[in-house]
Amino acid sequence: MRLSITILIGLLTAVSGFTAHAEEAPVNLCTAGPEGNYFAAGRDIATHANPQYVKVAVVETSGSMDNMQRMARKECGAAIVQSDAYLVYQARHKDSPVEITRNQFLYAEFIHLVCRRDAKIATTEDLLASPGRRTILVGNKESGSALTWHAFSILDRRYGELSAEQIGGENALGRVLSGNAQCLFFVSGLGSKFSRIVDQRGKDLRLVPLTQDVLREAQFGASKSYEARRIPKGIYANLEAGLPESGVETLTVGATFVIDRHWADRYPNGPAALLGAVAGAKPAIDQRALSALK
């Protein structure tokens, strides 16, 4: 009897210890500003997290690069970042890289290259062939768009030779429309609010395909940093005028959920619990990404 009681006490202690350990798996999930899809996706993930195993605190940040820096400082055990944020951060911090143990694709953001029609830029090769003659506005400093442009310049040095300025949003659009710059480069959801503004005001602008193999072959862990996709005909009436009926070929960058290795080492059951929350949140995340097209 004593042996049975001892075994029972041992089992209860083990279960209690496991539960206590599971409850001690808090994670700061770094996202972006409160109005964006990253923050909304973070809240979806937190909602579907099982509090018995992991407690998710959604943290507002300034975006992907800020998230990488916070992970490096161990302020965030997980984050949502552009897939190329990892590439840029590691290139900048070769002696102190961030170690990612898991990454999970959430949804695609489209890379838009929009140029003035009178600039005679029909392909990226047209743009790359004359680096000093044209100015391209690539997004505000440390924005997702500027980050992707930086990644391009790492993967293909010709992008780094172009006359690029870190100006974004409607300020950049105004400069292109007035002829003070020739191209606008930005990353957003397909049919996002800003991309629709560009289209509405862009009768003199056109979408330019992105087709370089070196960009398409870039890797993020075991996955590609970018995926080749087409912007379907009918999304942007002005920007697509005169372009192929099959749509414009471009690249997409993944909004990606990543887990820090140090956090995972501390909480061995944490990654599975977090990825379970991501799976539960995925339908809502997908629906939000698709709603912009309606």
User: For residue range 136-190, what is the model confidence (pLDDT) as tens digits?
Assistant: 999 988 888 999 999 999 888 999 999 999 999 999 999 999 999 999 999 988 8
The CATH class of 25-106+256-291 is alpha beta
pLDDT band at 77 (very low <50, low <70, confident <90, very high): very high
Helix (H, G, I), strand (E, B) or coil at 289: helix
Based on the number of CB atoms within 10 Å of its own CB, is 280 exposed (0-12), middle (13-18) or buried (19 or more)?
A: middle
Q: Are 265 and 49 in contact (CB under 8 A)?
A: no
Q: DSSP label at 167?
A: -
The domain spans of the chain are 25-106+256-291, 108-254
Choose the most confident range, by mean pLDDT, from 34-38, 71-75, 94-98.
71-75
pLDDT band at 12 (very low <50, low <70, confident <90, very high): very low
Indicate if 108-254 has the same CATH topology as 25-106+256-291: yes
CATH code for 108-254? 3.40.190.10
Q: Is 179 left (phi over 0), alpha (psi -120 to 50) or beta?
A: left
Say how many C-beta atoms besides its own lie within 10 A of residue 209's C-beta: 19
Please report the sign of the dihedral spanned by the C-alpha atoms of residue 133, residue 183, residue 38, residue 224: negative
What average pLDDT does the segment 263-282 reach?
95
What average pLDDT does the segment 262-289 reach?
94
